Amino acid sequence: MALCLALKEGQIMDDSDRILRTEFSEVMQKSYIDYAMSVIISRAIPDVRDGLKPVQRRTLYDMHELGIRYDKPFRKSARIVGDTMGKYHPHGDSSIYEALVVMAQDFKKSLPLVDGHGNFGSIEGDGAAAMRYTEARLKKITQEAFLSDLDKDVVDFIPNFDETEKEPEVLPVKIPNLLVNGAEGIAVGMVTSIPPHNLSEVIDAVKAYMKNPDINTVQMMEYIKGPDFPTGGIVTNRDELLQLYSTGVGKIKIRGRAEIEKGKNGKLSIVVTEIPYTMIGAGIGKFLNDVYHLVETRVTSDITDISNQSSKEGIRIVIELKKGADAGNILNLLYKKTRLEDTFGVNMLSVCDGKPETLGIVPIIRHHVKFQYELATRKYNTLLAKELDKKEVQEGLIKACDVIDLIIEILRGSKTVKEAKECLMTGETANIKFKSEESKRDAAKLCFTERQATAILEMRLSKLVGLEIEALIKEHDETLKNIAGYEDILSNRGSMAKVIIRELNACQKEYGQPRRTGLEQLSEIVIEEKPIEEMDVCFLMDRFGYTKVIDMASYERNRETVESENRFIFTVKNTGRVGVFTTAGNLHIIKVSDIPFTKFRDKGKPIDNVSRYDSAVESFVYVGNLEEIIVRQFIFTSSDGMSKRVEGAEFDLKNRMNKATRLNEGASLVSVIDVNEAESLVYATKNNMFLRVDAGDIPEKKKTAVGVKGITLSGNDEVREVYPLPAEGGRIAEGSKGEFDLSSLRVLGRASKGVKR
Active site residues: 133
* 3-state DSSP of 189-258: CCEEEECCCCHHHHHHHHHHHHHCCCCCHHHHCCCCCCCCCCCCCEECEHHHHHHHHHHCEEEEEEECEE
Question: In sequence order, which residues have a C-beta less than 8 Å from that of residue 355 and are 6 or more positions away?
Answer: none
What is the arrangement of strands in the sheet containing 183-186, beginning at the earlier edge strand?
183-186, 191-194, 341-347, 249-255, 234-235, 518-519
For residue 356, the cross-strand partners are 351
Three-state DSSP class for residue 419 = helix
**Residue 439: closest CA among 408, 470, 399:** 408
Determine the length of the chain: 757
**Residue 317: closest CA among 365, 253, 274, 376:** 274
Three-state DSSP class for residue 302 = coil
Question: In sequence order, which residues have a C-beta less than 8 Å from that of residue 412 and are 6 or more positions away?
Answer: none
DSSP per-residue codes, 667-681: --EEEEEEGGG-SEE
Three-state DSSP class for residue 658 = strand
Q: Tell me which long-range contacts 613-619 makes (C-beta under 8 A, separation of at least 24).
A: 613/545, 613/580, 613/582, 613/586, 613/588, 615/545, 617/584, 618/582, 618/583, 618/584, 618/586, 619/582, 619/583
Question: In sequence order, which residues have a C-beta less than 8 Å from that of residue 86 and are 6 or more positions away?
Answer: none
Q: What is the C-alpha to C-alpha distance for residues 596 and 598, in angstroms, rounded to an integer?
A: 6
Q: What is the C-alpha to C-alpha distance for residues 486 and 488, in angstroms, rounded to an integer?
A: 5
DSSP per-residue codes, 422-475: HHHHH---TT---SSHHHHHHHHT----HHHHHHHHH--GGGGSHHHHHHHHHH
Q: How far is CA 650 from CA 14, 79, 393, 627, 668, in A?
A: 80, 70, 102, 12, 20
